Amino acid sequence: MLASFLLDTCLEAGIDFFTGVPDSYLSGLCNELFTRYGTDQKEHIVAHNEGGAVALCAGHYLATGRPALCYMQNSGLGNAINPLASLTDPGVYGIPLMLVIGWRGEPGQKDEPQHITQGAITLRQLELMDIPYAVLSPETTEAAFLADFQRLRACLDAGRCVAVVARKGSLKSLSSPSYANRFSLSREKAAEVLLSFTGEKDVIVSTTGKLSREIFELREQSGHSHQQDFLTVGSMGHASMIALRIAEECPERTVWCLDGDGAMMMHLGSLPLIGRRRPSNFNHVVINNGAHETVGGMPVCSGKLNIRALACASGYTEVLQADSEHTLAEALNEWKKTPGTGPRMLEIRCACGARSDLGRPTTTPIENRDALMQFITKSSQF
């Protein structure tokens, strides 16, 4: 079904505000929204996380009396449960909104490890919160959707939240917007340069998405072990907290957190906590391409955010920037001269895009965990 039909149906029903966090299964919807409204207009806002998107919907309803649409991957449903259960619930404020949820990890469908459990419990989560839902499949006709929509609309009119759970390929778009920026340094090249500056005892914690996949392939290409790398799958936005505690428990090591701009924005409170804890062995690298690239490329919510000023205000001891292979090497050479003076941040402004043949890690998350823990234990003995 075309995403435009879903949007037009919503608009006819008075649902005229759209917000959320992009998902690859909802790329048709995201492309249609971007084509119609961009990302910073009154009608459409890309939120920093899913809970914040639910709150935006609540504010819209309080101001206008009209429900809004909130889109997300099912992995983001966890971020949204708090406001769904304590703000919009009929037993609290009774604020209606329509959720559109990409169903990653659907039982019986092959998917990545981080989606398996979430996919298995998605419908049960909605049932537990007493949120009526309809499942959208690639085979769903417009007539069938309209029948489901009328049922859900009656629940909206009664002050309840409802959900449309979209299977892979359910929402298509005739729009193919180009998501790009003005920078030329590829993320994979930046990762290659970064890895060449890390030491043999260093620990690298990388964020979920294509960056971790590129790090895995770079290690494979160079014939190096993966034992130093923790490739965070799922749990978007939490890589810096994983890295912080490793840094505090392993003060003799340099710990690198390789983060993304969208991931950092999702849980921005991590920065002042890192600044307050002041781990001297902590290097925080933020790959900034201004896009949720792993799930389609829609721009992140950062707008004109000054990451350097934000990190300085949070208590980082030094903040550098790079936007080319040359300036990246210069920044890393500066850091090499003054080890142990963190927490430090390096913002790398990169282009959007990745290789079309980019693979995925061939080791399991458990194997990744065990290899890192053994590396930390063994190398700490010498």
Q: What is the pLDDT of residue 299?
A: 81
Residues 159/94, Cβ–Cβ less than 8 Å: yes
Residue 381 confidence class, pLDDT cut points 50, 70, 90: low
Query: Is the pLDDT assigned to residue 290 strictly greater than 70?
Result: yes
Shared domain for 155 and 208, answered yes or no, is: no
Please check whether residue 159 lies inside any domain of the structure: yes
pLDDT bin (cut points 50, 70, 90) of residue 304 is confident
CA distances from 175 to 34, 123, 178, 286, 298 (A): 9, 30, 10, 30, 13
- The whole-number pLDDT of residue 180 equals 82
Are residues 320 and 280 part of one domain?
A: yes
Domain end, chosen from 166, 200, 228, is at 166
Picking from 136, 166, 196, the residue at the C-terminal end of a domain is 166
Q: Quick check: 379 pLDDT over 70?
A: no
Output the pLDDT for position 297: 76
What's the pLDDT score for residue 302? 67
Query: Cα separation of 274 and 263, whole Å?
Result: 15
Average pLDDT over residues 370-381: 87
Within a domain: residue 374? yes
- pLDDT of 201 strictly over 60: yes
Residues 102 and 215 in one domain: no
Asked whether residue 171 is assigned to any structural domain, the reply reads no
58 and 119 housed in the same domain: yes
- 149-163, 221-235, 284-298: range with lowest mean pLDDT: 284-298
Is there a domain that residue 18 lies in?
yes
Q: What percent of the chain has pLDDT over 90?
A: 88
Q: Residue 21's CB: how many other CB atoms inside 10 A?
A: 30
For residue 127, the domain's CATH number is: 3.40.50.970
User: Are 155 and 228 in a shared domain?
Assistant: no
Q: Are residues 231 and 154 in the same domain?
A: no
What is the extent of the structural domain holding 79?
3-166
Q: Which of 30, 11, 50 is nearest to 172 (CA)?
A: 30
Q: Domain tally for the chain?
A: 2
Among the three residues 133, 166, 199, which one is the final residue of a domain in this structure?
166
Statement to judge: residues 59 and 121 lie in one domain: yes
The whole-number pLDDT of residue 214 equals 96
Same domain, yes or no, for 113 and 203? Answer: no
The answer to whether residue 319 is domain-embedded is yes
One domain, residues 370 and 240: yes
Residue 264 lies in a domain: yes
E-state strands within 94-144? 97-102, 133-136
Question: What's the pLDDT score for residue 301?
Answer: 78
Q: Indicate if 225 and 141 belong to the same structural domain.
A: no
Residues 70 and 200 in one domain: no
Asked whether residue 241 carries a pLDDT value surpassing 80, the answer given is: yes
Q: Is residue 181 part of a domain?
A: no
Q: What is the mean pLDDT of residues 254-279?
A: 96
| Residue 263 burial (C-beta neighbours within 10 Å; 0-12, 13-18, 19+) | buried
Average predicted confidence (pLDDT) for the chain: 94
300 closest CA partner among 264, 325, 246: 264
Mean pLDDT of 116-122: 96
Instruction: Tell me: do 221 and 352 sit in the same domain.
Output: yes
Q: pTM (2 decimals)?
A: 0.93
- How do residues 8-66 score in pLDDT, each as one tens digit? 999 999 999 999 999 999 999 999 999 999 877 799 999 999 999 999 999 999 999 99
Question: Can you give the length of the chain in residues?
Answer: 382
Residue 382 reports pLDDT greater than 60: no
Residue 371 lies in a domain: yes
